Amino acid sequence: MKRREYDRATSGQVGPKIIPIIQEIPKEQAVTFIQQYHYSKVMPRLNKFFLGFFMEGRLSGVVALGWGTQPLQTIRKLFPLHVLKTTDYIEIGKMCFLPGCNNTQYFGSLVISQMVKWLKANTRYLYLYTLADGIMGKCGYVYQASNFHYVVSFTTSVYRDSLTGEKIHPRSARILLEENAAFDGVARRYWLTFNYCQYKGIEKINGRMFRYLYPLTKSGRRILQSYPEYQGLAYPKDKDLCFTMRSAPGTYVPIPQPQFNKEVCQFNVQRY
């Protein structure tokens, strides 16, 4: 089957490259790096490995591997005809680099190549799974350049403080949800309501998330190939990004790509 094309103009892979050295690093070192260089300071709660990527002895990139908020549901939804478990896959929770490495446009592909080799040598996972955050304007070009399989998208929601620009992830909104329930006089809320958000100055924004899989074993590749709906899908591009904002209960209007202030952490407070 012909491999789907990605935009080679974005890869920048010209000339010899220095291969980064990969090794596990302490959680504290990884979190400090991620807090400084990742666009989102909110860490996943379920982490298995913290991998550091060193260029000439300097820590130049960090990847946190683990699982999202619903690990079993994720793999079962992807492969409903198979009884797969959370031990069958690992997810890229965070990946970020020094600005100088990020700007080369090829460093990410080198990191992923080394990471895949490390996972094959040190684990028994069938898949490396990841999401490209369309709300942040990301289609997953680095995964496309690394020959990941694109396996569909879904719509997701985030909140934004209209005054500070802070991006509020739904899993960071527990206190707000409790306050929203009291505001409405009900026992519980699972999403912030329009009237409450109007009162608090909070916006609800919808965008797309793009799912990618990389088979780490022959068995994983065979299982993936048994799902025709995942074969030959065109890689998403910038034109496939879409953003809407809630303007009334149940009503959303198109907006340009939203901007967020990653330096504000009024609501996204975590203990590590």
Whether the pLDDT of residue 254 is over 70: the answer is: yes
**pLDDT of 271:** 55
**pLDDT of 269:** 60
Strand-strand pairing, 251-254 and 244-248? antiparallel
Predicted confidence (pLDDT) per residue in 89-101, tens digit: 999 999 999 988 8
- Higher pLDDT, residue 168 or 42: 168
> What tokens were used for 85?
């478990």
Q: How sure is the predictor about 6, in pLDDT bands with cuts at 50, 70 and 90?
A: very low
Distance CA 90, CA 143 (A): 15
Predicted confidence (pLDDT) per residue in 211-235, tens digit: 999 999 999 999 999 999 999 999 9
Question: What single-letter DSSP state applies at residue 198?
Answer: H
Q: What element of type H or E holds 99?
A: helix 99-102
**pLDDT of 237:** 97
Predicted confidence (pLDDT) per residue in 54-102, tens digit: 999 999 999 999 999 899 999 999 999 999 999 999 999 999 999 888 8
Q: How sure is the predictor about 244, in pLDDT bands with cuts at 50, 70 and 90?
A: very high
**Domains of the chain in sequence order:** 19-154+206-235 (3.40.630.30)
Strand partners, 204: 159
Q: How many CB atoms lie within 10 A of CB 190?
A: 8
Contact status, residue 19 vs residue 110, Cβ threshold 8 Å: yes
0.85 exceeded by the pTM? yes
Whether the pLDDT of residue 50 is over 50: the answer is: yes
- Higher pLDDT, residue 12 or 245: 245
Q: What is the mean pLDDT of the chain?
A: 90
Percent of the chain whose pLDDT exceeds 90: 79
